[in-house]
Amino acid sequence: MTKTLHHRACHLCEAICGLTIETELQADGSSQIRSIKGDAQDSFSRGHICPKAVALQDIQNDPDRLRQPMRRVGSEWQAIDWDEAFALVAERLSAIQERHGQNAVAVYQGNPSVHNYGLMTHSSYFLGQLKTRNRYSATSVDQLPHHLTSHLMYGHGLLIPIPDIDHTDFMLILGGNPLASNGSIMTVPDVEKRLKAIKTRGGKLVVVDPRRSETAAIADQHLFVRPGQDAALLLAMLNTLFEEQLTGASHLPVAGLDAVRQAIAAFTAEAMSARCGVPAGTIRQLARDFAAADKAVCYGRMGVSTQAFGSLCQWLVQLINLVTGNLDRVGGALCTEPAVDLVASTSGGHFNRWQSRVSGLPEYGGELPVAALAEEMLTEGEGQIRALVTVAGNPVLSTPNGRQLEQALDGLEFMLSIDFYINETTRYADLILPPTAPLEHDHYDTTFNLFAVRNVTRFNQAVLAKPMGALHDWEIFVGLAKAFAAKTGGELKPSMAPEQMIDMGLRFGPYGDRSERKLSLATLRDHPHGLDLGALKPNLGGRLKTATQQVQAAPAILIADLQRFAAQALPKAGELLLIGRRHVRSNNSWMHNYHRLVKGKPRHQLLMNPADLAQRGLVDGQPVRVRSRVGAIEVEVAASEEMMPGVVSLPHGWGHARPGVQMGIASEQPGASANDLTDERQLDSLSGNAALNGVPVQVDAA
């Protein structure tokens, strides 16, 4: 039968690798995937892919993936049709809001919300109508400190400088493991080659991580740091840069550097060494090496974001780049100029305009920290959450104290999930609305082009036709919006298809109608391998959105947070601290249902240093019980020299043995959920981001 080659990017993770997919037309008129390979003609990813892309066909063919709306009746699931489903949602949510107020309905948006353009362009079409302040997302278990820091320093939460990995001579990575994650807030397909190229050009890669990660293993230098204490290391580095006069001039207009210098004067390498576990001499030398490099960049990710001083860490990362003259400089940290420019077209965001009802946690950009979600459901009183809409998320496995959240979900009056699996979270829903699968819809990456290490753009056409009776995510939102407006008498503007919105974004953008390139959707359709728009260039001066058009080096709330840091108790000796990790064959909580990815030896053990095992009389491979303030799990322990003594590592996204989960392969190799141990009270209290790393635990024989 006829075979066709398609070119499009994979959008499962942030690397947006180009793919070449071969399909074959079947006698019944449908198409089957024959092969999925890296697209060698993609100038950005140059043929690179990871095993998850090959599993796109498993998502497509998975018998457990839902293909029609499902309504739960007791413990049974019954298929219903779309219109009936939309009407049911409108009726239930409007009745709950009428009785208990608008905030009684909460929303949680998960990670794929930024990996699927229909979710980006259309979710607020429906969710906005709910007019609730109880909006939550995976941002507050992830990169919230990045947004807050950029909002405060540069005037826009999305104006995040990206490491210029291809031109730097010195890259310092804290709390990121791009060899497993394929890069994050640094869209960089092919990251291993690009990191190794730093060394080939005579440069240096330094990794700071409590685990000798896959990335640390290829680095020139790896430093163990005590979990949650990176701020001590970064403060000491910055202090050394000032004290030893290793700073360089910046061409940017900057306000507040003197205030920074004064505020950090006491945080010397000698004073900070005991906190972070790195010798003072090593910290000073690191600062000197960084300053001496012609072009250097400091980059901090998950491990330093989801910890008790996540915002402080992200601020210090920016400052180290700034004071060494590496901010907005080739080979340092640069901002992109994407073809669809969300920085130019949106306002800079807001912070702490209102707070959560129970714990008073701050909103950012209209969202509250998800660590507060369960307590907002469980705590009685005016404003209590009675209903929830989840979109592309699995908060039971991905947010702190998942067991408490389960208890809260069980007590809701109504829950809607827009998702294609019955998983640990959606099993509590009254109704699940499943969208089309990744290869069945078009995609344009408005998020990850914004964070890419080159200015790139591409439109990804669907590879497979939309099945009869199926709806894309954006069409589900339109259906819900219409039904809700009809029920409540709300006003609804006409909706536009996502590709029309992208066409407009491209034409109004920096390479659009007013430029020589005249980019539009039509241009991109003619370039299925994507278009390279050039290397990143210094542009931050012209993009700043602060009121004074200056970089604000010393935002008052960050300066004040130094006192919280200084007042914190020193880490206890002998205490075990839990951190997380990722594996290249895994994707958060939802890609464990494909045999291709989970086969072979299990990858969800608790890693522990052999000395810590011996001290507890434990042996490699033994089942252990891990306890924290909030709960306990049982899991197999594996001895690992990669681990810093006193630190244990467990990947999140496992724990599929919960009753009612309908994911056959995942349930066979369930693992345990790290978030049954993480603590909803352990936060970066400045931003409200969850501190998922550095959780005190005890480990004994099971």
Yes or no: say if 333 and 327 are a contact pair by the CB < 8 Å rule. Answer: yes
* Residue 15 binds ligand SF4 (CB under 6 A): yes
* Residue 116 binds ligand MGD (CB under 6 A): yes
Residue nearest to Mo ion (CB): 142
- Contact of residue 175 among Mo ion, ligand MGD, ligand SF4, none (CB under 5-8 Å per partner type): ligand MGD
Q: How many CA atoms lie within 13 A of 603 on its CB side?
A: 18
* Residue 210 binds ligand MGD (CB under 6 A): yes
Per-residue DSSP letters for 201-254? TT-EEEEE-SB--HHHHTSSEEE---TT-HHHHHHHHHHHHHHTT-----SS-E
How many angstroms separate the CA atoms of 583 and 599, rounded?
13
Element (H, E) at 255: strand 254-255
* Mask for 174-213, x = binds ligand SF4 (CB under 6 A): --------x------x------------------------
* DSSP, res 38: E
How many angstroms separate the CA atoms of 629 and 292, rounded?
45
How many angstroms separate the CA atoms of 509 and 345, rounded?
9
Instruction: From 221-229, 349-357, 632-640, 679-687, give the range in contact with ligand MGD by CB under 6 A.
Output: 221-229
Shortest CB 651 distance to ligand SF4, Å:
16
Contacts of 556 (CB under 8 A, 6+ apart): none
Contacts of 477 (CB under 8 A, 6+ apart): 118, 122, 123, 125, 126, 127
How many angstroms separate the CA atoms of 428 and 194, rounded?
44
Nearer to ligand SF4, 17 or 232 (CB): 17
Element (H, E) at 77: strand 76-79
Looking at 280, 485, 584, 702, which residue binds ligand MGD (CB under 6 A)? 584
Nearer to ligand MGD, 467 or 542 (CB): 467
3-state class of 434 per DSSP?
A: coil
Residue 187 phi, psi (nearest 5): -75, 110
Shortest CB 173 distance to ligand SF4, Å:
17
Nearer to Mo ion, 142 or 679 (CB): 142
- Contact of residue 325 among Mo ion, ligand SF4, ligand MGD, none (CB under 5-8 Å per partner type): none
Looking at 8, 13, 208, 277, which residue binds ligand SF4 (CB under 6 A)? 13
Instruction: From 10-18, 129-137, 200-208, 575-583, give the range in contact with ligand SF4 by CB under 6 A.
Output: 10-18
Structure tokens of 221? 């230098």
Which 19-78 residues touch ligand SF4, going by CB under 6 A? 49-50, 52-53
Shortest CB 448 distance to Mo ion, Å:
12
* Residue 132 binds ligand MGD (CB under 6 A): no
* Residue 20 binds ligand MGD (CB under 6 A): no
* Residue 676 binds ligand MGD (CB under 6 A): no
Looking at 222, 443, 529, 581, which residue binds ligand MGD (CB under 6 A)? 581
Nearer to ligand MGD, 212 or 517 (CB): 212
Shortest CB 303 distance to Mo ion, Å:
12
* Residue 554 binds ligand SF4 (CB under 6 A): no
- Contact of residue 12 among Mo ion, ligand SF4, ligand MGD, none (CB under 5-8 Å per partner type): ligand SF4
Q: How many secondary structure helices (H) and strands (E) does the chain include?
A: 26, 32
Shortest CB 113 distance to ligand MGD, Å:
7
- Contact of residue 53 among ligand MGD, Mo ion, ligand SF4, none (CB under 5-8 Å per partner type): ligand SF4
How many angstroms separate the CA atoms of 493 and 10, rounded?
32
Backbone angle region of 688, left / alpha / beta, with phi > 0 → left and psi within -120 to 50 → alpha: left
Nearer to ligand MGD, 337 or 680 (CB): 680
How many angstroms separate the CA atoms of 319 and 344, rounded?
24
- In Å, how far from its chain's centre is CA 661? 24
Provide the residue type at 356 as one letter: S
* Residue 48 binds ligand MGD (CB under 6 A): no
Contact residues toward Mo ion (CB under 5 A) are 142
Shortest CB 416 distance to ligand MGD, Å:
11
- Contact of residue 156 among Mo ion, ligand SF4, ligand MGD, none (CB under 5-8 Å per partner type): none
Residue 290 phi, psi (nearest 5): -65, -45
3-state class of 338 per DSSP?
A: coil
Shortest CB 175 distance to ligand MGD, Å:
3
Provide the residue type at 667 as one letter: S
Shortest CB 332 distance to ligand SF4, Å:
25
Backbone angle region of 72, left / alpha / beta, with phi > 0 → left and psi within -120 to 50 → alpha: beta
3-state class of 189 per DSSP?
A: coil
Shortest CB 34 distance to ligand SF4, Å:
18
Nearer to ligand SF4, 45 or 314 (CB): 45
Which alpha helices (DSSP H) does 101-190 contain, by range? 117-127, 144-154, 178-181
**Footprint of ligand SF4 on this chain (CB under 6 A)?**
10, 12-13, 15-17, 49-50, 52-53, 182, 189
